Homo-oligomer: A and B are copies of this chain.
Amino acid sequence: MRLGMIGLGRMGANLVRRLVADGHECVVYDHNADAVAALAAETNCTGVSSPAELAANLPTPRVVWVMVPAGSITTGVIEELADTLAAGDIVIDGGNSYYRDDIKHAKLLADKGIRLLDCGTSGGVWGRERGYCLMIGGDRDAFDHAEPIFATIAPGVDAAPRTPGRDGEVSQAENGYLYCGPSGAGHFVKMVHNGIEYGMMASIAEGLNILHHANIGKADQQGDAETAPLSHPEFYQYDIDIPEVTEVWRRGSVIGSWLLDLTASALQKSPALEEFAGRVSDSGEGRWTVIAAIDEGVPAPVLTTALYARFASRHLFEFGAKVLSAMRKQFGGHDEKSA
Given known A207-B199, A245-B178, A276-B322, contact A313–B303 (CB-CB < 8 A): no
Chain A 111-128, CB-CB to B under 8 Å as 1, else 0, gives: 000000000001111110
Docked complex Cα distance between A119 and B262 (Å): 25
Contact B299 A311 (CB under 8 A): yes
Contact A131 B251 (CB under 8 A): yes
Chain A interface residue count, CB cutoff 8 Å, equals 172
Contact B209 A135 (CB under 8 A): no
Given known A228-B297, A264-B163, contact A154–B329 (CB-CB < 8 A): no
Residue A172 is within 8 A (CB to CB) of chain B in the complex:
yes
Chain A 252-284, CB-CB to B under 8 Å as 1, else 0, gives: 111111111111111111100100111111111
Closest residue of B by beta carbon distance from A126 = B331
Given known A155-B251, A308-B301, contact A281–B206 (CB-CB < 8 A): no
Contact A203 B302 (CB under 8 A): yes
- CB neighbours (8 Å) of A76 from chain B are none
Residue A176 is within 8 A (CB to CB) of chain B in the complex:
yes
Query: What's the least CB distance linking A53 to chain B, in Å?
Result: 27
Question: Which residue from B199, B253, B312, B334 sits with its C-beta under 8 Å from A199?
Answer: B199
Residue A323 is within 8 A (CB to CB) of chain B in the complex:
yes
Query: What's the least CB distance linking A34 to chain B, in Å?
Result: 20
What 10 A-B pairs have minimum CB-CB distances, sorted nearest first?
A199-B203, A257-B257, A278-B321, A209-B320, A299-B308, A133-B253, A133-B252, A262-B330, A173-B247, A301-B305
